Amino acid sequence: MGQGRLTTHVLNTASGKPAGGLRIALFREMQGALQHILEVRTNADGRTDAPLLTGEVFTPGVYELHFHAGDYLKANGQAGEEPLFLDRIPIRFGIADADQHFHVPLLLSPFGYSTYRGS
């Protein structure tokens, strides 16, 4: 069994606070199509309560995290006018070594975002 894991968290850079209650879907690319793996919501600290993937189900491959930013921004009065500038934010990344920790955070505001490989 691999020792690696996949984690994420979301920070609202417009408010300077964790983005609690934001819905995140995880997919894996399989034969050119996206396979839905799971869906979670961030807790009050902007994190998930458990790693998104760990153990035997955490394998090398291409993955996507879909952050449902529009719903979160609407619920917090930060969305702006329709159509939203940012709604669902997909982040596509590859896992080469499932024995490592891959942390994919999202820094979010109503009009921009960034990500990086964290620790």
- Amino acid identity, position 93: F
pTM of the entire structure? 0.95
- From first to last of its 119 residues, the chain has per-residue pLDDT tens of 568 999 999 999 999 999 999 999 999 999 999 999 999 999 999 999 999 999 999 999 999 999 999 999 999 999 888 999 999 999 999 999 999 999 999 999 999 999 999 98
Q: Minimal CA–CA distance to 52: which of 72, 38, 62?
A: 38
What's the confidence (pLDDT) of residue 79?
85
CA triplet 50, 53, 57: central angle to 5 degrees?
Answer: 140
Q: How far apart are CA 57 and CA 39, in angstroms?
A: 15
Strands 88-95 and 53-54: what pairing? unpaired
